[in-house]
């Protein structure tokens, strides 16, 4: 279960930023497909979950999993280093000597990590998109357009039906 959750989140991340491959929940609706379903909801979750609607072959699924696994392994040391830097900063108190310098270093590291994530996700998206057949690419574009239309309808509905303010 945890393996599927991590794979699902990794796949979601792979297409999260400006994806040209829009992918949603599996056609069956009952399960969560071969790519799992994470507890956290990120912008790209729906896009990655649409992989199930593209009827990927077993070979394509295996390739996607390998691409994600490889990327995750390559980036593990960077993620761990950033996590340690965050932890060290969080353990400091604001009146501690070096607190502001540590905050500055962490901010710089977080910025570099964000830049690397965007580039890595773009690379993952490109690799996964390259695995798709022309028909699957066309279907992905259609699914993306449908998802964008639903999102626009939802935004319009929210604008017409604002939540009452608490107070």
Domain map (residue ranges) of the chain? 2-145
Q: What would the two tokens of residue 34 be?
A: 């071969």
Residue with the bigger pLDDT between 1 and 107: it is 107
Q: What is the pLDDT of residues 91-136, one digit of tens each?
A: 999 999 999 999 999 999 999 999 999 999 899 889 999 999 999 9
Average pLDDT across the chain, whole number: 78
pTM for the full model?
0.62
- Burial of 56 from C-beta contacts in 10 A (0-12 / 13-18 / 19+): buried
Q: What would the two tokens of residue 123 be?
A: 């690379």
Residue with the bigger pLDDT between 50 and 83: it is 83
Whether the CA torsion 6, 11, 13, 14 is positive or negative: it is positive
Residue 108's H or E segment, with its range, is helix 99-131
């Amino acid at each position: 279960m945890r393996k599927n959750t991590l794979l699902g989140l990794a796949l979601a991340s792979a297409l999260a930023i400006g994806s040209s491959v829009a992918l949603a929940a599996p056609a069956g609706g009952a399960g969560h497909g071969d790519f799992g379903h994470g507890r956290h909801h990120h912008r790209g979750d729906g896009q990655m979950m649409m992989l199930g609607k593209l009827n990927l072959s077993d070979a394509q699924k295996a390739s996607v999993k390998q691409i994600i696994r490889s990327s995750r392994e390559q980036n593990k040391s960077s993620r761990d280093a950033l996590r340690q830097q965050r932890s060290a900063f969080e353990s400091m108190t604001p009146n501690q000597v070096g607190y502001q310098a540590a905050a500055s270093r962490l901010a710089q590291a977080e910025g570099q990590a964000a830049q690397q994530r965007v580039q890595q996700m773009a690379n993952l998206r490109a690799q996964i998109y390259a695995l798709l057949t022309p028909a699957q690419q066309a279907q992905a574009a259609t699914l993306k357009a449908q998802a964008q239309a639903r999102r626009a309808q939802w935004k319009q509905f929210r604008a017409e039906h604002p939540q009452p303010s608490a107070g």
